[in-house]
Each structure stands twice: as C-alpha cells, then as structure tokens.
C-alpha cells in the first residue's frame, strides 16, 4: 500500500511483511489495516475465511497488498507447513500473535474442557506461531514479534480465571522470547489492553443481557478510569509503534493500553 497523503514519515513499514493471526476482525483487523496504511504487506491467518477475505479486500481497495490463509493456530504441523511455504516466498519481518478466545468463570465454575480449550488457543497457539517463526527471523537478520496479551494477565479481574491464566502466560512468554533471542536482533513485546469495543463485546452483551445491552455496555465502559472502552484503532497505533524502527530499543516490554485501569483504580 502506498503511504497515504498526510501520513507522517515516522512509523513506516514499507518493504516489510507482517503476519497477523486473527486478522479477520476486531483488534487483528485494525492492526492489519494500520500496518498496510504504513506500507507493510499483510498476510492473515484466520479460521473465518469471510472475515479474512474482507480485511484483505479493505486493504486492496486502498492500494495495499494482502493475502490470507485459513489456519488453526493450535495445529502445529499444519501451521508450521503454512509458515514454511510463506517464508520460502518472502522474508517475514513481523509476527503479530492476536488470535485468541475469552471465557467467563472462576476456578470453581471453569470446566476442565474450557480450561484446556483456552490453554490450547491462547497459549499453545502463540507458542506454535513463535516456534515456527523465530528460526526464519534468526536466519534472516532478525524481526519483531508482538503478542496481544491483556490487562487480565497482570491484574485480578473477577470471573476471568482461565482467561487471566492464559494472558499471564503470554506476558511471561514474551519476556522469555525477548531474552533468548536478543542476540539475534529479534525483538518481542506485548500489549495488554483493557476492555476494547469489538464485535465480541456486542455479541457478549446480546447473548447475556438481552434488552439491557445499553445499560451493561455503559457499566463495562465506566469500569475504566478514563470512562470508556478502547477502540481497536487505539491498540493498533501502539502495535504500529512497537513494530516500527522507532521502537528499535524496546524489547521484553508489556505495554498497557488500559485507560488507567491498572494504576488509577479507586
């Protein structure tokens, strides 16, 4: 995608290819669109073909380059094969681990099946992607890995036992990968958003609070000290910075995008 008029010279990704999991919607789509607007070629891995195709079409309509493949991040064999095929065609400089699922429940109400499902997607899925990609980055002079974590990984949230467990693991994995591959010019950071207004939130409210969606949305929004939820574009802006050369001195960091949630709660 040619850089749009008015886009500043900083934070450019021209000549780079970014691989984004879960790029079909929400935060992943916002990151894909933002990266493409700043010159990156985008490749999306998603289970939802229609959503992935829609993101690619939006990028293409503005002159950018984007492609997608249907992939399950929990399937290491298939994922590694897909990564190898893609990396044979071009160098991948950026990996964004975004695909994940949420869950509501305490340790008492969380079933073993749900706990295993969240670990498989939110933890093993990230591991699978990094496992498949770090060798390629190491052999090609480095790269950037960005993991989408959550404020739930470092703050005690009610009824988020399994989700908090997995996002805490994502933060720890980020620190570990940053340390282990520092010498190979591979930077690894994560972003920890608080509540972000995505279609997931709207669907959750419709399912669980029919007729009270507006009331409950306002309650959830006000739980952030800043008084509202984040927008996906706001997370994408931080992602762009962390994956750009302007952040070349930053690795092993967890960036909160939380409207003051962690430090300013009453």
- Active-site annotation, residues: 163
d(C-alpha 9, C-alpha 183), whole Å: 29
**Token pair 């507006």 in the structure block, residue:** 214
CA distance 175 to 252: 5
Give the pairing type, strands 143-148 and 254-257: unpaired
First-to-last C-alpha distance (Å) of the chain? 44
Q: Which residue has the tokens 């298939």?
A: 78
Which two three-digit tokens encode residue 159? 């009824």
DSSP code of residue 182: G
Contact in structure between 82 and 71 (CB atoms under 8 Å): yes
Q: Could you tell me which residues come within 8 angstroms of residue 45 by beta carbon, excluding any fewer than 6 positions away?
A: 19, 20, 21, 22, 23, 52, 68, 69, 70, 71, 73, 79, 82, 99
Specify whether the CB–CB gap between 166 and 115 falls below 8 A. Answer: no
Distance CA 100, CA 124 (A): 10
| DSSP conformation class of 123 | I
Asked if residues 165 and 118 have their Cβ atoms less than 8 Å apart, the reply is yes
């Amino acid at each position: 995608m040619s850089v749009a008029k008015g886009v500043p010279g900083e934070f450019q990704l021209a000549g780079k290819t970014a691989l984004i999991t879960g790029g079909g919607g929400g935060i992943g789509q916002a990151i894909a669109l933002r990266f493409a607007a700043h010159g990156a070629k985008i490749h999306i891995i998603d289970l939802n073909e229609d959503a992935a195709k829609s993101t690619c079409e939006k990028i293409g309509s503005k002159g950018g380059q984007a492609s997608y493949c249907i992939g399950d991040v929990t399937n290491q064999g298939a994922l590694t094969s897909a990564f190898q095929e893609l990396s044979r065609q071009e160098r991948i400089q950026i990996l964004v681990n975004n695909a994940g699922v949420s869950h509501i429940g305490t340790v008492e109400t969380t079933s073993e099946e749900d706990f295993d499902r969240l670990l498989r997607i939110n933890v093993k899925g990230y591991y699978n992607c990094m496992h498949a990609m770090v060798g390629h980055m190491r052999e090609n002079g480095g790269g950037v890995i960005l993991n989408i974590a959550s404020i739930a990984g470092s703050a005690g949230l009610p009824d988020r036992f399994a989700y908090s467990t997995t996002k805490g693991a994502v933060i720890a994995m980020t620190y570990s990968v940053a340390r282990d591959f520092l010498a190979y010019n591979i930077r690894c950071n994560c972003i920890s958003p608080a509540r972000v207004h995505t279609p997931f939130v709207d669907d959750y409210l419709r399912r669980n609070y029919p007729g009270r969606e507006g009331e409950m949305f306002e309650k959830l929004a006000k739980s952030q000290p800043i008084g509202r939820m984040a927008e996906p574009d706001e997370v994408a802006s931080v992602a762009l910075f962390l994956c750009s050369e302007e952040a070349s001195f930053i690795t092993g960091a967890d960036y909160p995008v939380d409207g003051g949630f962690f430090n300013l709660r009453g």
